[in-house]
Structure 1
């Protein structure tokens, strides 16, 4: 009997290939427009009125008008540059159209005898009416019944495609009301059909804003004061408040180590050893932090204080509270220079207290050698490292804490939310979260704290230690740069030290700014006999450290630096700072830089050199920033003005998450809606939890986790 052959193995059925996305679909994803609700909430930037035809004789100069006219001449001109000139006549007058860029297909559409529908700004000229690059298409067809929306978009995503995608999504998307009727915001509008006042429903508001009727006052759409816009802003603010309050409730259910005072009283020993006494504000915030650490739920507290207010010593006292309770503390800073400065201070302060207990302060940074890093990781894992100081290296996977009880994040807005979350999850293997203390020298304006930090407790150090000298700020055009350099010599001769800050490391074609290297050479040549140092972010860590140490030791009289010296650097003998191209810096960054001087007894000054560029004048926001710097050194006032100028993104570290956290609402003008959202959120969570979850999912999607960080 012949041997039975084995059946040939059957190939696994091939998975159907995922169809490749078109460039337009990829562009939609780039904008975050994935769900139907995402498209529905992608609202127009502005509108075009294509609902009516205007006769040329009735069109006013400067207005955007839509006309229907016949082409009477069409000519490509080669001099002085290649352009297309077309003349059209609508029976009431003629208009000349100019196109600086055009394609062969345009020549066909714009041929003599063609009847066109054109839309553009009417201009007057020597030869009569003109339009520059108007939109055009063949005449005919019914006029739209609503204003035409113009949406925010990116390359590869034409307006026509985006309009179709949004119109289609609006037809499909379910928009049930998630706000119970008794809790709706007090917004009403006159209903023309019924003659009754009634609240705007979400579906009505969205459909209206995508396709408003031509008789609506355009100003109310542009400034977002229309009741339909108000309804959208109320919904958005409520989603944000619901997310924050829900995060606070979730955190209250989590467990954290209870950090009670120990018999050694390490914080008391540190205070007794310090050469200065804590200010009243420092004592108050220490008490607030200690009260949180004694609870079995995770502290989630922001410690804010102006530059030089003494946040580091408060963090040290909190760390000692954790250590004497038998737990570890981690302190993470955004730059190696700042982390090293913290490490140096904390080693000096804490080593005399920790060494007798067999504990030490460990250092973790990306630039560490392998052997040194391995030794530090072993100390952290064993628990012998009671305090771990470092950069992003602290949150890497291989860093295993024995008992992490407290995490401190300095300049928290400089970290992405994923990084902040990673540090909080270092205790998850024990089913707990560490207490979290975030520090910021960028004070949070009250409206921002109310909005974005509804789930966060805020402690404020609102007084500076005694002995800090006031800083005089001068705003000077860079045409007087030589005068400024000449005035450096007497300061340096008197033994003072100077920072000179530049925005770029090397030349950029896009931004015609001085670079640090060229400025270093220029100042060294202009100030013979003065030791001029150079510090920028592309230098090796050891080189940066050596330069900074030489400046601290007084071996360098002048330090030319990029913004790596923005935070944390403490040289009491430095009494003058010059910031070149100050108009290019953000307000909070200028304030941080200025905080590097005025740390000693000598009178200190900050000079803001600005350039007007080709325009011959400063932009409005740049002028406001420099004016604010000249008028106040109060970090809270600076923060308030910064919020007005830039909005909330920078305060929150929102850039790192890639999302604008408020798209429609304005914290400065929508205070009534914000108050309503703050009152409504806890009521909804308590009485309508399912609707609250649906509301958060609709508005925030996956971004809700970012708000918890």
Structure 2
């Protein structure tokens, strides 16, 4: 990169030691950093005809001064100056507070341009910005920057103008000419100038379009490179499995596959057979049949004389998967094993031996699967359920138990296409977007807090019929900051409301063994009601649970509410979800209405993304979401898809790796570490 761009910001006129320190607080050390500190919005100083001005809005007007300024002083340093201005045949009063020094710049008969708050009824404007003369076309859109310390927006504007003036022309171009021509994108220097000093909305629109595409293309190039390296593993060989035996296994399943399940099975089996390493995300709503799809993949691997491993986050989930797979493989030669941390040493040693000698074909377990004693005979397929619950390191250790095994990540969290492309862009994505027939829809109701007693009577009615209920709260303990129901208080209240009934409590601060124990007791129907925080969101399958009551439901996102609702409706009985909420905001009301309208997790996830934005969708701890300077994966979704397709074509083409015109893109991949295989998991 040009050495001037890497110069310290102190090289610019007007940037002394204090300003330099304040800029460093914003992560700005070099002139290049400064150029990449873009405005977060633009103040509109475009002049609008007076009849189109909106009451109490900030506007810009221009007209001829009709009267001498009149100034009144009050207090020690306070003043109020008024002046009459003729605008489009209307006399308007401009009011200046504490700016009497401008009096000398205002002359009768001369044109002035004013920005301020418009009062339509009084025909007055409270002046915020003043300029003698006609509007400056180059300053119709004022860039507004984030600042730190005592640094003001005006000072930042001056510093940026200085930087742009001196260096924008030497900013290196990194997009090949053919791409710029294809999409009619401006050059890199012009893009920087327009983003910092737009002369028109049209110019700003094209500059933004250029920068968004570039950000997304670079990100997708990195993703597609990781994908290529994952798939083209050196030791990957074609895998031969018995397609007829797998088709026969599919036919003897207790229920026919849906069309979506058939499509996904085909995608996975093609990957297993191919001389590439599968790296696939399988998305499917709760109850959509992901486990059945996984069982067919594992059966295919068995026919090719290899092993499969399924890693899940909790022991109870491991046991449930074990029981359901034992049932599916009953009457076949497939041997299913279970490995969890709480098993006795003797049991564990026996399982270790059978994994090593290959007499266990499919092993289901918790993170116990990645312990050192576990040595596989011939591991071909690794499946992780609710993969976001495992750390990158844990998933990698399991992969390393075999020689570049195929990897299938399963999740019941519906991820919008936008985020699937962004966060999981290095994977192939399969979606089961169809539910098996015969499932009863969960009846969802929105109840105000004052209806709580009626809701609890309804819960009692279900329990008296032998059913069970979940009651979910947002917090563990009472908080002064948030007036929301907490799990410990609600548990105490329900113990009083339901004397003689068995009410359990579970939350994230309990030790793992206690959580497992409470969940086991609920699953075994030793508890009638389980009061919990969102730790029950993923996992356990209690077919007898028919009631889900969610306190302060407006505090949850749509996707989380949907996940919680999915804990019920798993058995033959009609199930219900009651959202206890008194949302004051339109967004909260909209969420409650949407929850009553649809059970489609993908529809809900898209709506959730629109309402909350990508940053909140996964919660604050999500690290996989890329951070862009200007691009927004929701707003710029079409550009994201275009960039992904372009990146995939470039990475696949031989010309990309040889032609000089793509050198800038290849250098970016090198700098981004895309050639390091373990950079991204």
Q: Does 2:338 align with 1:361?
A: yes
Q: Match for residue 26 of structure 2?
A: 28
Q: Match for residue 485 of structure 2?
A: 514
Q: Residues 652-691 of structure 1, C-alpha deviation per residue, up to 9 Å, x if partnerless?
A: 8995327545554455665654564355334544334465
Instruction: Give the CA deviation at 1:122.
Output: 3.1
Question: 1:115 and 1:347, CA in 2 relative to 1: closer, same or farther beyond 3 A?
Answer: farther
User: Is the Cα–Cα contact under 8 Å of residues 286 and 314 in structure 1 kept in the other structure?
Assistant: yes
Name which of 690, 694, 700 aligns with 2:664.
694
Q: Match for residue 640 of structure 1?
A: 606
Moved more, 400-409 or 514-523: 400-409
Q: Match for residue 201 of structure 1?
A: 187
Instruction: Give the CA deviation at 1:631.
Output: 0.9
Task: Describe how 1:662-677 pairs up with structure 2 within 5 A.
Answer: 664-665=630-631, 670=636, 673-674=639-640, 676-677=642-643
Question: 1:693 and 1:647, CA in 2 relative to 1: closer, same or farther beyond 3 A?
Answer: farther
User: Is the Cα–Cα contact under 8 Å of residues 340 and 390 in structure 1 kept in the other structure?
Assistant: no
Instruction: Give the CA deviation at 1:424.
Output: 3.8
Q: Does 2:382 align with 1:407?
A: yes
Alpha-carbon distance in 2 for matches of 1:634, 1:585 = 17
Question: 1:356 and 1:26, CA in 2 relative to 1: closer, same or farther beyond 3 A?
Answer: farther
User: Is the Cα–Cα contact under 8 Å of residues 403 and 427 in structure 1 kept in the other structure?
Assistant: no
Name which of 285, 305, 316 aligns with 2:264.
285
Name which of 521, 536, 539 aligns with 2:507.
536
Q: Match for residue 446 of structure 2?
A: 475
Question: 1:480 and 1:355, CA in 2 relative to 1: closer, same or farther beyond 3 A?
Answer: same
Q: Match for residue 585 of structure 2?
A: 618
Task: Describe how 1:53-92 pairs up with structure 2 within 5 A.
Answer: 61-63=56-58, 73=73, 75=75, 86-89=78-81
User: Is the Cα–Cα contact under 8 Å of residues 382 and 399 in structure 2 kept in the other structure?
Assistant: no
Q: Residues 59-109 of structure 1, C-alpha deviation per residue, up to 9 Å, x if partnerless?
A: 985326799x99964649xxxxxxxx9333265578586xxxxxxxxxxxx
Instruction: Give the CA deviation at 1:482.
Output: 2.5
Name which of 593, 597, 608 aligns with 2:579.
608
Moved more, 552-561 or 693-702: 693-702
Instruction: Give the CA deviation at 1:180.
Output: 2.6
Name which of 341, 345, 349 aligns with 2:321.
345
User: Is the Cα–Cα contact under 8 Å of residues 71 and 82 in structure 2 kept in the other structure?
Assistant: no
Q: Does 2:281 align with 1:302?
A: yes
User: Is the Cα–Cα contact under 8 Å of residues 338 and 365 in structure 2 kept in the other structure?
Assistant: no
Name which of 227, 242, 259 aligns with 1:248.
227
Instruction: Give the CA deviation at 1:439.
Output: 1.1
Alpha-carbon distance in 2 for matches of 1:707, 1:34 = 27
Instruction: Give the CA deviation at 1:283.
Output: 4.5
Instruction: Give the CA deviation at 1:347.
Output: 5.9
Question: 1:654 and 1:512, CA in 2 relative to 1: closer, same or farther beyond 3 A?
Answer: closer
User: For 1:503, what is the secondary structure of its paired residue?
Assistant: coil
Alpha-carbon distance in 1 for matches of 2:504, 2:607 = 34
Q: Residues 578-621 of structure 1, C-alpha deviation per residue, up to 9 Å, x if partnerless?
A: 11111111111111111111111111111112123xxxx2233x
Task: Describe how 1:302-701 pairs up with structure 2 within 5 A.
Answer: 302-319=281-298, 321-322=300-301, 329-333=308-312, 335-336=313-314, 340-346=316-322, 349-350=325-326, 360-363=337-340, 404-413=379-388, 419-420=391-392, 423-424=395-396, 433-446=404-417, 449=420, 455-612=426-583, 617-620=584-587, 622-648=588-614, 656-657=622-623, 660-661=626-627, 664-665=630-631, 670=636, 673-674=639-640, 676-685=642-651, 686=653, 687-689=655-657, 692=662, 694-695=664-665
Alpha-carbon distance in 1 for matches of 2:619, 2:669 = 20
Alpha-carbon distance in 2 for matches of 1:164, 1:377 = 70
Instruction: Give the CA deviation at 1:203.
Output: 1.8
Instruction: Give the CA deviation at 1:553.
Output: 1.9
Q: Match for residue 65 of structure 2?
A: none
Question: 1:232 and 1:640, CA in 2 relative to 1: closer, same or farther beyond 3 A?
Answer: same
User: For 2:547, what is the secondary structure of its paired residue?
Assistant: strand
Question: 1:256 and 1:598, CA in 2 relative to 1: closer, same or farther beyond 3 A?
Answer: farther
Instruction: Give the CA deviation at 1:563.
Output: 0.6
Name which of 177, 182, 192 aligns with 1:181.
177
User: Is the Cα–Cα contact under 8 Å of residues 400 and 426 in structure 1 kept in the other structure?
Assistant: no
Moved more, 35-44 or 266-275: 266-275
Alpha-carbon distance in 2 for matches of 1:34, 1:624 = 44
Task: Describe how 1:256-267 pairs up with structure 2 within 5 A.
Answer: 256=235, 258=237, 260=239
**Gapped runs of 5+ residues in structure 2?**
1-16, 48-52, 63-68, 85-92, 106-112
Instruction: Give the CA deviation at 1:400.
Output: 7.7
Question: 1:440 and 1:38, CA in 2 relative to 1: closer, same or farther beyond 3 A?
Answer: farther
User: Is the Cα–Cα contact under 8 Å of residues 114 and 129 in structure 2 kept in the other structure?
Assistant: yes
User: Is the Cα–Cα contact under 8 Å of residues 362 and 380 in structure 1 kept in the other structure?
Assistant: no
Instruction: Give the CA deviation at 1:313.
Output: 3.5
User: Is the Cα–Cα contact under 8 Å of residues 50 and 144 in structure 1 kept in the other structure?
Assistant: no
Question: 1:38 and 1:63, CA in 2 relative to 1: closer, same or farther beyond 3 A?
Answer: same
User: For 2:409, what is the secondary structure of its paired residue?
Assistant: strand
Task: Name the TM-score, length of structure 1 as normaliser.
Answer: 0.72
Instruction: Give the CA deviation at 1:539.
Output: 1.2
User: Is the Cα–Cα contact under 8 Å of residues 281 and 462 in structure 1 kept in the other structure?
Assistant: yes
Alpha-carbon distance in 1 for matches of 2:474, 2:276 = 43
Instruction: Give the CA deviation at 1:204.
Output: 0.8
Q: Match for residue 196 of structure 2?
A: 210
User: For 1:475, what is the secondary structure of its paired residue?
Assistant: strand
How many aligned positions are there?
Answer: 630
Alpha-carbon distance in 2 for matches of 1:379, 1:570 = 30
Task: Name the TM-score, length of structure 2 as normaliser.
Answer: 0.74
Question: 1:236 and 1:354, CA in 2 relative to 1: closer, same or farther beyond 3 A?
Answer: farther
Moved more, 684-693 or 497-506: 684-693
Instruction: Give the CA deviation at 1:474.
Output: 1.3
Alpha-carbon distance in 1 for matches of 2:669, 2:478 = 43
User: Is the Cα–Cα contact under 8 Å of residues 259 and 325 in structure 1 kept in the other structure?
Assistant: no
Q: Residues 330-381 of structure 1, C-alpha deviation per residue, up to 9 Å, x if partnerless?
A: 4444x53xx53134422663599899999843235xxx79989996997799
Alpha-carbon distance in 1 for matches of 2:33, 2:354 = 45
Q: Match for residue 89 of structure 2?
A: none
Q: Match for residue 108 of structure 2?
A: none
Moved more, 352-361 or 468-477: 352-361
Question: 1:397 and 1:167, CA in 2 relative to 1: closer, same or farther beyond 3 A?
Answer: farther
Alpha-carbon distance in 1 for matches of 2:396, 2:230 = 12
